[in-house]
Amino acid sequence: MFRFIAGLSLILASVQVSAALDIQTWQTTKGAKVMYVHSPGLPMLDVEVVFDAGSARDGDKWGLAAMTTAMVGTQTPELNEQQISQQTNALGARISGNVGRDMASFSLRTLTRESILQPALKLFTESLTQSVFNPQIFERERQRALVGLQQQQVSPSQLAQNAFWKGVYDQHPYGHPVSGSVESVKALKLEDLKAFYQRYFVSANATVSIVGDLSRTQAQEVVEQLLADLPKGSAAPALPKPKSLSEAKQQIIDFEASQTHFRMGQLGVERGHPDYYALFLGNHLLGGSGFGSLLMEEVREKRGLVYGVGSGLAPLKVAGPWVSYLSTKNESAKEAEKVVKDTLVAFMDSIDDQHFQAIKDNLIGGFPLRIDSNAKIIGYISMIGFYGLPLDYLEQFPKIIESLSKQDVLKAWNRHFHPEEMVTVMVGKPA
């Protein structure tokens, strides 16, 4: 995997930007989508390459995407693992990789000084496009992954998370853990990783995002250099739509602990769904705004059942979940569950005007802080590019939030969520 290599520490000051970012986009001759923002405030460059190669592409080989991502950048035809690490440190660059259900992503952060930029880009390019899958490194990474998976088996929070996704998605590609299982990772072969790399790590399946002190012409040159050795290939096929629940599901996993970890939720919406704004605003009020949320007020402040409680939406290529979460003493688990459900039902019935306006003001007033650095900007434009959102998404987001009424929010929540059909998971010894 691309290691998180700090090298010489690169401390980024916040860059004040407006929501009206000048996002430019184009497509390379090999079919890759490019997202670009010129940010001259600092002599730095951020590059992120995202492939539609997340765990949803594992098939029956769970953990394949995660293991492939872990291997990319560990060795090239010219450089071994130690040499890659030494060169990255010497340049003061930062190279990293990550994998989720939808995507595998790889990023570079470097100074734009020519003597640093060109060798950093060359190293990043070779690591990404000319990876060598060394059998010894593969076995080491497999053992590392197995240790992590074994640790998950004694983590009640992770057990609850995995059970919740399985409960919501069942046999859908989102239903299994991103990192796979002990059994599936043990069964992986090096040839599986090579085949996955050759199928999904191709130009037509890539989105490249660039933010920094480079002109568009320079950015185009960077992309051409970066993708020159990647085959064109083809985009990944569309994912199947998950099936909505028709009845409630409840699972209690017996776990020796003083606390019970709780998850409750169901299918939400995909990225780009027109109801997302209303659902996002409603969730911010219900459980997404920390101490300003209804769940925090009802479960913690009024009853003292938890230290923390919240909820979140995770929109993906196809409908992602909405989930509420908390941990509490075993003796109070059932009471906490009831309070969460009652709070959800009451919220979906009526919203207090004053609280609603306060949450809107909080979201709109804090929005500029979401894009006040290059690192945040590249995260957003990668999302916009990968999910095919409008280029003015960031500009329109606070305007749409401002335009929503509480009736809009209530209608959207009642269209998509049904309290009587929730997936509920408890891990612990709920009394």
Q: What is the DSSP string of 363-419?
A: HHHHGGGGGSSHHHHHHHHHHHHHHT--TTHHHHHHHHHHH--HHHHHHHHHHH--G
The predicted pLDDT at position 370 comes to 81
The predicted pLDDT at position 13 comes to 28
The predicted pLDDT at position 15 comes to 32
CATH 2.60.40.1730 fits 24-227, yes or no: no
Q: What is the pLDDT along the chain (431 residues), one digit of tens a residue?
A: 443 333 323 323 233 334 468 999 999 999 999 999 999 989 999 999 999 999 999 999 999 999 999 999 999 999 999 999 999 999 999 999 999 999 999 999 999 999 999 999 999 999 999 999 999 999 999 999 999 999 999 999 999 999 999 999 999 999 999 999 999 999 999 999 999 999 999 999 999 999 999 999 999 999 999 999 999 999 999 999 999 988 999 999 999 999 999 999 999 999 999 999 999 999 999 999 988 899 999 999 999 999 999 999 999 999 999 999 999 999 999 999 999 999 999 999 999 999 999 999 999 988 888 888 999 999 999 999 999 999 999 999 999 999 999 999 999 999 999 999 999 999 999 98
Distance between CA atoms of residues 367 and 362, nearest Å: 8
Q: Where in the chain is the domain with CATH 3.30.830.10?
A: 24-227, 249-428
The predicted pLDDT at position 8 comes to 29
Distance between CA atoms of residues 299 and 175, nearest Å: 29
Residue in 20, 11, 2 with CA at minimum distance from that of residue 44: 11
**Choices 3.40.50.2300, 3.30.830.10, 1.10.3980.10, 3.30.499.10: CATH for 249-428:** 3.30.830.10
Distance between CA atoms of residues 186 and 61, nearest Å: 10
What residues have CB less than 8 Å from 63, skipping those under 6 apart? 55, 145, 177, 178, 179, 180, 181, 184, 185, 188
